Structures are given as C-alpha cells and as structure tokens.
Amino acid sequence: MRRFLLVPLVLGAVGLWAFLDDQNGIRSWLELRSELARSGDRIAKRRAEVEALRSEAGALRKDPLAIEGAIREELGLAKPGEIVIRFVGEGGAGETPRLP
C-alpha cells in the first residue's frame, strides 16, 4: 500500500521541481517558446522587407524614372515648380518614406 502512495508523491515532487526550476523547468521552456514565436515574427517582417527591397531594386534596374525618383528622394531634391510633401512615418519626424 505504501508503494502506491509513494508513486504519486514522487510524481508530484518531480512536477513541482520541474515547474519551479528556473533554468531547466517548465518556466524556462515556456519562455523559450515565447522567444521562438517572437523570433518567427521578426523573421517574417525581415523577409517582407527583403522582398520589398528586391522589388525596389528590380524597378531601379529597369526604370529610369525610378532611378531619378530614388536619387531625388535620397538627396531631397525637387524639380523646378514641384511641391514636395513629406509624410511622417511611424518612426517619427526625420524618417524619409520609401516610395514603392
């Protein structure tokens, strides 16, 4: 009879230890899973950025007007008679928006 009482007691102690152990326990595992999910989100954002940059690079290779627009945007130039309108992005003032 004591054996049957010892098994749940040992399992409970092991479970409690797994939950409370900061370096090897369940908490550590949950933190790692959370970090993995955040990393996956960052990877997805970076892939989207890379794809947008590839698209922009393709346009710059093929379209002279895209090259002119990129140069004027980078240097902050405008043609005579043009009105330049700057939009403030999520990053705040001073951020130069990228044109598609």
Classify residue 92 as left (phi > 0), alpha (psi -120 to 50) or beta: left
Number of independent structural domains in the chain: 1
Task: Give the integer Cα–Cα distance in Å for 86 and 97.
Answer: 8
Close Cβ partners of 71 (under 8 Å, ≥ 6 residues apart): 77
**pLDDT tens digits along 50-92:** 999 999 899 889 998 888 888 888 888 888 888 877 777 765 5
- Tracing tokens 């749940």 back to the chain, one arrives at 8
Q: Answer whether residue 83 is part of any domain.
A: no
Residue 45 has φ and ψ, to the nearest 5°, of -65, -45
Close Cβ partners of 52 (under 8 Å, ≥ 6 residues apart): 98, 100
Domain of residue 22 covers: 6-75
**pLDDT tens digits along 82-95:** 887 777 776 555 55
Q: Answer whether residue 96 is part of any domain.
A: no
Q: To 5 degrees, how large is the angle CA 64–CA 51–CA 75? A: 45
